[in-house]
């Protein structure tokens, strides 16, 4: 018998594992995202505690299912294409953090290159002021994301942005 995750995802391969918020609670709800643009299965599955199941922006679901509480709140299984995951990162945190809007750029290599430059400049500014920037933790992963996108590997770029997303919650 397939698990509920296999069933809801249409048994697709997992595209990315994300932690979209810092919450110590165990999830009690498995939120089923909207259907994929093509084919079967949900675009994503999010594990949420009761508080976040009510008040979470950016993750509008198609349905909520009971979860036995085995995963941390904020865990998201993302089954979308790499490009769609990159867009989701932009919508949820990358554009507000860096000011770089994908709509104003020509492709993800360019977007991530610009975002990388913005972060680097901020870390440098902090260093000049004698401070350690919390953005520093993100730089190595943003650099990997940028170089992966430049060689056309959007899957690795999306995975690297998922690490950045986790750091972004601590800011
Ligand atoms: Zn929570």
8 Å CB contact between 47 and 74? yes
Residue 67 and residue 142 in one domain: no
Is 91 found in the same domain as 38?
A: no
Q: Rounded to whole angstroms, how far apart are CA atoms 48 and 67?
A: 9
**Predicted structure pTM score:** 0.93
What is the per-residue pLDDT across 103-137, written as a single tens digit (0 to 9) for each? 999 999 999 999 999 999 999 999 999 998 889 98
Average model confidence (pLDDT) across the chain = 94
Domain that holds residue 152: 82-168
Q: Assess whether 13 and 41 both reside in one domain.
A: yes
How remote is the CA of residue 139 from the centroid of ligand 1, in Å? 27
Q: Is 104 helix (H, G, I), strand (E, B) or coil?
A: helix
- Shared domain for 63 and 29, answered yes or no, is yes
Q: Name the β-bridge partners of 77.
A: 17, 45
Residue 33 CA to ligand 1 centre (angstroms): 17
Pairwise CA distance, residues 62 & 99, whole Å: 30
Distance (Å, rounded) from C-alpha 168 to C-alpha 133? Answer: 12
Claim to verify: residue 39 and residue 108 sit in the same structural domain: no
Cα of 160 to ligand 1 centre, how many Å? 23
Structure tokens at 126: 């902090």
Overall domain count for the chain: 2
Looking at the structure, tell me whether residues 57 and 26 fall in a common domain: yes
**Residue 93 and residue 47 in one domain:** no
């Amino acid at each position: 018998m397939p698990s509920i995750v296999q069933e809801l995802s249409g048994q697709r391969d997992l595209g990315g594992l994300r932690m979209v918020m810092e919450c110590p609670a165990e999830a009690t709800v498995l939120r089923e995202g909207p259907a994929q643009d093509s084919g079967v299965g949900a675009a994503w599955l999010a594990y949420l505690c009761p508080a976040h199941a009510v008040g979470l922006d950016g993750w509008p679901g198609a349905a909520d299912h009971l979860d036995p509480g085995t995963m941390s709140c904020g865990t998201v299984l993302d089954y979308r294409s790499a490009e769609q995951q990159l867009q989701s990162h932009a919508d949820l945190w990358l554009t507000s953090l860096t000011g770089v809007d994908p709509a104003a750029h020509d492709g993800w290599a360019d977007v991530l290159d610009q975002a990388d430059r913005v972060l680097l400049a901020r870390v440098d500014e902090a260093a000049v002021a004698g401070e350690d920037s919390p953005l520093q933790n993100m730089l190595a992963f943003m650099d990997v994301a940028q170089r992966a996108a430049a060689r056309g590997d959007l899957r690795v770029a999306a995975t690297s942005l998922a690490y950045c997303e986790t750091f972004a919650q601590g800011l």
